[in-house]
Amino acid sequence: MNELSLLELFAQATLIVKIVVVILIIASIITWLIIVERYLHFQEAEEFNNEFETLFWNTKDLQKLFKSVSSKDASELVGLERVFYYSYKENIKLKDLKIDSQTKSENISRSIRIAISKEEGVHTKHLQYLANVGSVSPYIGLFGTVIGIVNAFQGLSDATQATINAVAPGISEALIATALGLFAAIPAVLAFNKFTVSTEAQIKSLSVFGEELVSIFSHSK
């Protein structure tokens, strides 16, 4: 079926099927925009974290590194940089207090959990949309399919004899709605699973780095 016949079929479709098709096309376009945006996001996050981790372990003056990080706006901090900022800031606050290392460790850990929680929110951005499209699109397509089948039977009942021309428009509508539902859902499901794994990997990396910071700062004087 060529492009022209698809457009003609859409033009001849019932209003409900047209609405279903438009919804699924829009959902699919937004899905692919999110996929590209999230892919670039995780790629950039991984590169930045690798660079900052290398910088952290190679620096001899953490206070100087903290001043460099503090020069940025708090909303601009990302990844390991954010975890370092929150933990070091808490470490400075506790330095002059007479508390044992365990209490200090707990307080620093709490500040790190806050930082990681903020990071998790950044990484899971738009994933709920992908989950919704992945779960709902097949049913929207199925709704269009049902309408198409109903139209096919309607065409058959109105025809003087049972011919393919009587049922073809309705069946075509049904198949297109089904195909578009799957076309929108499959990439969304795959992307959701992929980015969920990427988020978990990022959080695990932040947690490990945070534990190392707790160990360093809780025993520092």
Residue positions counted in the chain = 221
DSSP letter at 74 equals: G
Q: How far apart are CA 183 and CA 170, in angstroms?
A: 20
pLDDT, position 115? 93
Instruction: Name the token pair of 22.
Output: 């438009």
> Over 80: is that where the pLDDT of 216 sits?
yes
pLDDT, position 169? 60
Spatial contact of 169 and 155, defined as CB atoms under 8 Å apart: yes
Q: How far apart are CA 207 and CA 201, in angstroms?
A: 10
pTM for the whole thing?
0.83
Q: What is the pLDDT of residues 106-130, one digit of tens each?
A: 999 999 999 999 999 999 999 999 9
Write down the residue that tokens 């049972």 correspond to. Answer: 162
Across the range 77-83, mean pLDDT stands at 93
Q: What is the pLDDT of residues 153-187, one digit of tens each?
A: 776 655 555 555 555 666 777 788 888 999 999 99
DSSP letter at 59 equals: -
Crossing angle (nearest 10°) for helices 15-58 and 127-158: 160
As a whole number of Å, the end-to-end CA separation of the chain is 75
> Over 50: is that where the pLDDT of 22 sits?
yes
pLDDT, position 156? 61
Q: What is the pLDDT of residues 98-108, one digit of tens each?
A: 777 788 889 99
Helices (H), 159-220: 164-218
**Angstrom distances, CA of residue 88 to CA of 66, 67, 95, 112, 216:** 7, 10, 10, 10, 10
pLDDT, position 157? 59
pLDDT, position 166? 52
Q: How far apart are CA 125 and CA 54, in angstroms?
A: 27
> Over 80: is that where the pLDDT of 81 sits?
yes
Q: What is the pLDDT of residues 29-57, one digit of tens each?
A: 999 999 999 999 999 999 999 999 999 99
pLDDT, position 137? 94
pLDDT, position 2? 45
Q: How far apart are CA 31 and CA 100, in angstroms?
A: 51
Task: Name the 3-class secondary structure at 81.
Answer: helix
